Amino acid sequence: MRYEIQGETLPVVIMQVDEGESIITEAGGMSWMSPNMEMKTQGGGIGKMFGRALSGDTMFQNIYTAEGGPGMIACAATFPGSIKAFEITPDNPMIFQKSSFLCSEDTVEFSIFFQKKFGAGLFGGEGFILQQISGEGLCFAEFNGHLLEYELGVGEELIVETGNLAAMTASCDMSIITVKGLKNKFFGGEGFFNTKITGPGRVWVQSMSPQEMANALARFLPSSNS
């Protein structure tokens, strides 16, 4: 499979696949495609469907397969931000924030990731359940705003404001720390908690959290009282 990511504010990934190759998208994730891409909708069982819904994805997924020759399929971002390709291998699973999964090769497996520590899930930005991507192949994920990558060594730490954690390798550890000082908590504008990521591994942070984007858009939406 060959691909290119085009666009800046609202990017799209365009994938060229050989005959017989398949791409998995969330329900409604296809933007345009060649006419020989055959679609099949799957749920994968109640457990998997429920898990996808909890982690912010659609309950059903679509599989697009090139029939009778090479094919093309494109998946566009659903909000202003970034699309990044991740090479998934059996020893390199990835953890994504909720609703990040965009599409992947059909050899990649999607599951839910429960925080090991209840506090990290309850206060750690994107909820108790995140997305885990494993298997082997290419996976594409979308994130809010600009995406930055950090490489953490053993024991090296990065403090991330709630909601700005985009992705991390499964080798990293996540925990929650409390903002020090009452004035800092109530008047600092950063909330009560931050997320601490400890290496070894790679961490990706996004320049705008989903809540920040929702708040920015809410100012331009008509209120229910108007």
pLDDT band at 195 (very low <50, low <70, confident <90, very high): confident
pLDDT in tens, 127-145: 457 889 999 999 999 998 8
User: At CA 87, angle to CA 84 and CA 92, rounded to 5?
Assistant: 120
Check: CB of residue 113 under 8 Å from CB of residue 107.
no
Q: Does the reported pTM lie above 0.75?
A: yes
In percent, the amount of the chain with pLDDT more than 90 equals 52
Confidence check: pLDDT of 59 > 80: no
Q: Which residue has the higher pLDDT, 195 or 11?
A: 11
Question: What contacts 23, CB < 8 A, 6 or more positions away?
Answer: 1, 15, 17, 63, 64, 65, 73, 103, 104, 105, 106
Q: Summarize pLDDT for 81-135 with one digit per residue, the tens.
A: 999 999 999 999 999 988 889 999 999 988 877 665 544 444 444 445 788 999 9
CATH number assigned to the domain with residue range 2-216, chosen from the 4 options 3.40.50.2300, 3.60.160.10, 3.40.640.10, 3.90.1150.10: 3.60.160.10
H or E stretch at 169: strand 165-169
CB burial readout 20-52, b (16+ within 10 A) else e: ebbbbbbeebbeebeeebeeeeeeeeeebbebb
Question: Where is pLDDT greater, at 80 or 212?
Answer: 80
pLDDT for 1 equals 92
Confidence of residue 18 (pLDDT cuts 50, 70, 90): very high
pLDDT at residue 161 is higher than 80? yes
Give the residue from 215, 167, 210 showing the smallest Cα distance to 81: 210
